[in-house]
């Protein structure tokens, strides 16, 4: 199993950009939950905390693709560094306003400013695609490895963010996330030899990758997936607090990420056959169905036993995450031109961000109005929406893949004629 992963790191510089990308990605899993934990302590409302976190997610959904479009057009280093500087300035403003009790509207202003955070995950995957575009098995393993790295981020990040915010001081989680972002981007952009080259054709085109019909299907489905992520995070923190063990929520969420991490490790070694679109749909279905046991145990079991049961349900639910995300990124790589790959991958995270915004805010309102256990109806509803969306777009995904496959012979003929 490990030999598959060793082979992808044979190329020079791969370990350096992947490891620095890990550091730069930690804030993704720390910032939202850090804001929720910080403001729920300082302001005493999960509703406000969820709305500020949702504002950040919406801002990222709007600004993220713009930043990634600039990355594809001008290069990773030239765009990611200034985008990080702006993000850090906004994060500093948010922390100061939260600490000194500034008016609530100021929190939303600085949350909007933080939305320009560069999409490190997309930039890392773009480097892998540049290296192994002609070697499908290695590219599948590389995408699987990065999905595992994402899940490790979601294991480590919430534990650090929630743990520091509850044990040290409320702003500690968001503060550490900012430090990781600054250090990670500095190290990542210093790896110049593996940075993908610019594509002149893209520089002449103003078209956005989102005009691709297959990508639209993935983005809309990821809105539902993000709603699952955002609502589960907020509701789990509230559920753990209702049982008198708020700090344990980080461990429970880590179990969810652990299930995904283990699934991703195994998935990366498989020799896959059959329709990629069908695999994606199957993953979305599994993700939705896995929310049912979570709701049942939360509503029927309380106390420490309830926390254990919720943790077990999330561990199993996590198995669907990595294979689904890995397949989605492989679909993006097939459907979107290489010159727009960073933007295309960022659009999927934009869909996640929009979903997180909806899920975290609706989850917060549901907790405030109906209690923590009832909040788990939100991810279940989001899962059903995701299944319906993926089912409606399945033919479009298959058509996009078929069109890409049909174009390959002609492209090879052109190369031979040259």
The predicted pLDDT at position 347 comes to 85
What pLDDT score does 417 carry? 31
Quote the pTM value: 0.74
Token pair for 382: 């989001």
pLDDT at 111: 93
**Per CATH, which fold does 13-197+210-417 belong to?**
Growth Hormone; Chain: A; (1.20.1250)
Phi, psi of 117 (to 5 degrees): -55, 130
CB atoms within 10 A of CB 235: 33
- Scored b (16 or more CB within 10 A) or e, 5-43 reads beebeeeeebeebbebbbbbbbbbbbbbbbbbbbbbbbb
Q: What is the mean pLDDT of each run of 10 residues along the chain (418 residues)?
A: 78 90 88 86 80 84 86 88 95 92 90 91 88 82 84 76 85 91 94 81 59 83 90 87 80 84 81 80 93 87 80 90 87 78 81 79 85 88 94 85 60 34
Residues sharing a CB contact under 8 Å with residue 179, sequence separation 6 or more, in sequence order: none
Classify residue 103 by its DSSP letter. Answer: -
Q: DSSP secondary-structure letter at 268? A: T
* Residue 348: closest CA among 221, 228, 219: 219
* Alpha-carbon gap, residue 291 to 250, rounded angstroms: 19
Q: State residue 369's pLDDT score.
A: 83
- The pLDDT value recorded for residue 405 is 62
Q: Cα(278)–Cα(396) distance, rounded to whole angstroms? A: 12
Q: What angle do CA 277, 281, 282 make, to 5 degrees?
A: 115
């Amino acid at each position: 199993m490990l030999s598959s992963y060793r082979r992808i790191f044979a190329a020079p510089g791969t370990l350096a950009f992947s490891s620095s990308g890990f550091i730069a990605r930690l804030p993704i899993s720390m910032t939202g939950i850090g804001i929720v934990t910080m403001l729920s302590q300082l302001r005493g409302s999960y509703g406000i905390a969820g709305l500020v976190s949702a504002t950040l997610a919406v801002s990222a959904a709007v600004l993220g693709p713009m930043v990634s479009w600039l990355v594809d057009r001008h290069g990773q280093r030239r765009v990611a560094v200034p985008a990080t500087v702006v993000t850090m300035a906004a994060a500093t403003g948010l922390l100061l306003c939260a600490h000194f009790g500034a008016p609530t509207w100021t929190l939303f202003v600085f949350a909007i400013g933080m939305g320009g955070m560069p999409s490190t995950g997309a930039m890392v995957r773009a480097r892998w695609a540049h290296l192994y575009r002609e070697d499908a098995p290695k590219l599948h393993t590389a995408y699987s490895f990065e999905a595992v790295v994402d899940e490790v981020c979601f294991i480590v990040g919430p534990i650090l963010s929630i743990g520091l915010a509850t044990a040290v001081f409320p702003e500690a989680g968001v503060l550490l996330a900012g430090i990781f972002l600054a250090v990670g981007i500095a190290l990542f952009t210093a790896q110049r030899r593996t940075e993908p080259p610019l594509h002149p054709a893209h520089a002449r085109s103003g078209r956005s990758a989102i005009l691709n019909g297959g990508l639209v299907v993935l983005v809309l489905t990821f809105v539902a997936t993000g709603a699952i992520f955002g609502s589960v995070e907020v509701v789990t923190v509230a559920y753990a607090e209702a049982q008198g063990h708020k700090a344990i929520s980080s461990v429970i969420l880590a179990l969810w990420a652990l299930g995904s991490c283990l699934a991703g490790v195994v998935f990366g070694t498989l020799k896959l056959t059959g329709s990629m679109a069908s695999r994606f749909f199957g993953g979305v279905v599994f993700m939705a169905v896995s929310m049912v046991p979570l709701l049942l145990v939360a509503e029927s079991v309380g106390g420490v036993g309830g926390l254990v049961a919720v943790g077990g349900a999330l561990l199993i639910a996590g198995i669907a995450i990595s294979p689904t995300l890995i397949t989605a990124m492989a679909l993006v790589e097939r459907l979107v031109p290489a010159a727009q790959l960073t933007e295309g991958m960022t659009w999927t995270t934009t869909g996640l961000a929009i979903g997180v915004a909806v899920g975290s805010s609706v989850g917060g309102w549901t907790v405030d109005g109906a209690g923590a256990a009832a909040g788990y109806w939100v991810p279940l509803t989001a899962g059903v929406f995701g299944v319906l969306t993926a089912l409606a777009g399945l033919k479009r995904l298959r058509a996009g893949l078929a069109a890409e496959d049909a174009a390959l012979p002609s492209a090879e003929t052109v190369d031979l004629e040259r």
